Amino acid sequence: PQAASGEQSAANLFRIERVSDGVYAAIARPAPMLNCNAAVIVTADHVLVVDTHSKPSAASALINQIRREVSDRPVRYVINSHFHWDHAQGNLAYPKAFGESTEVISSTSTREWMAREGASRLRQSLAALPKRIADLRTQLAAAKIDGERARLTEQIGQLEAYLKEMNPPEKQITLPTITFNERLVIHRGGREIHLIFLGRGHTAGDVVVYIPSERTVATGDLMHSLLPYMGDGYPEDWPRTLVALEALDFTHVVAGHGLVQQGKSILAFFRAYIEEINEGVARGVERGSTLEEMRRTLAPDGLRSLKMGDQMTRLAREGQGFAGVPLAGAQLQGAVAANVTDVYNYYTKRRGKS
């Protein structure tokens, strides 16, 4: 059967689960325009939300779901863990729903990046959509199986809705209203919520949101359950920043993508993986290896970090929940190759400048 409407049912974007006392995770379901997870923190008199997804309508859907499933207290603070589109493009929904005094908080660097790059990156991504939609229409015309036709129709509808919602790009980017450099602490009802910049990693300005009393941390994309995106990253600093994260006393993690984590074993893997890719590429560049050679030597089969515990099995499963495809085989190969390429560009571009 064909999907009745192109718009993915707004009630179906997130699954909310309780993480610790007053802390919830909104885990994003797979979507053609990716949504990040949100952490939802309820205090004595208000709600605080970490990250706002790819579009205001996704954030609005979460606002409604929070009211239904978590709390009817108003959202007073919104935090952007970093500047990426899938974490900050929904900001606008919060002042719209709760008034102009709703504060959006980020690191100083995140606000600068958002101001400089937000609208232009969004414009670029919108410009690429008509071709992606046309390709899906070609696939749809050739598709024979009902399920496949329904899936493609749904994807096309969602991409068209996104294109419509996000135009014009300048109007959609809502910058943070409060910024800080190192640490900002919100004190409410005897509980502290720490917003901490631990150092550069996934971007120049990642912050983690740490609730010491609940031993819970929201990590954005500084550390999550899949493989990292390294295109705006600082691979030399990132492992050190993750050591600083590991030093915090926590047992529950709401990450920017993937399932809620218990303990620090995924963090240990994530750091080992970034370290291994960084060291492998840095050494290769030093020796004058080509990118193609490095993509061969640093393929999944040769990586020590991927052999830690049952990480391969876990990644395959997490990929299924995140994108609807297991992160294994060609998918895993592609993800690792993208990381190698991004780190290679980091070193060669930086060299070009010096």
Binding site for Zn ion (CB under 5 A): 84, 221
- List Cβ neighbours of 241 (8 Å cut-off, separation of 6 or more): 198, 199, 200, 201, 206, 222
CA distance 263 to 250: 7
Q: Which is nearer to Zn ion, 232 or 246 (CB)?
A: 232
Q: Which is nearer to Zn ion, 221 or 318 (CB)?
A: 221
Query: Strand order of the sheet with strand 183-188?
Result: 183-188, 191-197, 207-211, 216-220, 252-255, 261-262
Would you state the structure tokens that stand for residue 196, as one six-digit string? 């901490």
Whole-Å CA distances, 12 to 38, 66, 149, 153? 15, 13, 20, 17
Q: Which is nearer to Zn ion, 32 or 205 (CB)?
A: 205
Q: Which is nearer to Zn ion, 84 or 200 (CB)?
A: 84
Q: Which is nearer to Zn ion, 43 or 125 (CB)?
A: 125
- How far apart are CB 33 and Zn ion at their closest, in Å? 14
Would you state the structure tokens that stand for residue 131, as one six-digit string? 């071709």
- How far apart are CB 105 and Zn ion at their closest, in Å? 17
Would you state the structure tokens that stand for residue 65, as one six-digit string? 């779901």
CA distance 255 to 260: 7
Q: Which is nearer to Zn ion, 233 or 284 (CB)?
A: 233
Q: Burial level of 197, CB count in 10 A (0-12/13-18/19+)? A: buried
- How far apart are CB 220 and Zn ion at their closest, in Å? 7
- List Cβ neighbours of 172 (8 Å cut-off, separation of 6 or more): 55, 56, 89, 92, 119, 122, 165, 166
Q: Which is nearer to Zn ion, 86 or 154 (CB)?
A: 86
- How far apart are CB 202 and Zn ion at their closest, in Å? 6
- How far apart are CB 6 and Zn ion at their closest, in Å? 26
Give the chain's largest Cα–Cα span. 61
- How far apart are CB 89 and Zn ion at their closest, in Å? 12
- How far apart are CB 232 and Zn ion at their closest, in Å? 7
Q: Which is nearer to Zn ion, 14 or 157 (CB)?
A: 14
Residue whose pair of structure tokens reads 């959609």 in the numeric block? 172
In whole angstroms, how large is the CA radius of gyration of the chain?
20
Can you point out the beta strands (E) in 212-284?
Answer: 216-220, 252-255, 261-262
CA distance 294 to 290: 6
Q: Burial level of 116, CB count in 10 A (0-12/13-18/19+)? A: exposed
Q: Which is nearer to Zn ion, 3 or 270 (CB)?
A: 270
- How far apart are CB 156 and Zn ion at their closest, in Å? 26
- How far apart are CB 229 and Zn ion at their closest, in Å? 6
